[in-house]
């Protein structure tokens, strides 16, 4: 069974940083493209970015609201996906989900609150 478990969310001040993790199991992680999606009551669901598998180049792409501030990476030896968030803004407050390629399977989400 495919499982994705996010962690690392919490309360952070504007301008601060936070790193989210997503532990994967039940599939061959190293061959999978992975994504982050966030959800807020106001803006709904928003694609944050994705990272390709290393065999396909391992490159990452980002949505405009986070480009230059967020970095997606992966550790295939640990079957773990990461989202490094910096220069956080109050608008980044959201529930963050990791998801498999094509957004077919999602984790349960981790809440990030950016507030002073």
Partner 1 sequence: DIQMTQSPSSLSASVGDRVTITCRASQGIGNDLGWYQQKPGKAPKRLVAAASSLESGVPSRFSGSGSWREFTLTITSLQPEDFATYYCLQHNSYPPTFGGGTKVEIK
Residues in contact with partner 1 by CB under 8 A are: 44-47, 61, 63-64, 97, 102-109
Q: Exposed/middle/buried for 50, CB within 10 Å: 0-12, 13-18, 19+? A: buried
Nearer to partner 1, 16 or 26 (CB): 26
What are the strands, taking DSSP E only, across 1-116? 3-7, 10-12, 18-25, 34-40, 44-51, 60-62, 70-75, 80-85, 94-100, 110-114
Q: Give the shortest CB-108-to-partner 1 separation in angstroms.
A: 6
Q: How far is the CB of 13 from partner 1 (least distance, A)?
A: 27
Q: How far is the CB of 25 from partner 1 (least distance, A)?
A: 16
CB closer to partner 1, 83 vs 107? 107
- Please count the residues of the chain: 116
Query: Measured from the CB atom, is 29 or 36 closer to partner 1?
Result: 36
């Amino acid at each position: 069974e495919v499982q994705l478990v996010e962690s690392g969310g919490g309360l952070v001040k504007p301008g601060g940083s936070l790193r989210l993790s997503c532990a994967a199991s039940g599939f061959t992680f190293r061959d999978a493209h992975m994504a982050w999606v966030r959800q807020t009551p106001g803006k709904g669901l928003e694609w944050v970015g994705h990272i390709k598998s290393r065999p396909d180049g391992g490159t990452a792409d980002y949505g405009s609201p986070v480009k230059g501030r967020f970095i997606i990476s992966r550790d295939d030896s640990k079957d773990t996906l990461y989202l490094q968030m910096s220069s956080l803004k109050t608008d980044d407050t959201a529930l963050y989900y990791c998801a498999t390629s094509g957004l077919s399977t999602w984790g349960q989400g981790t809440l990030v609150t950016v507030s002073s």
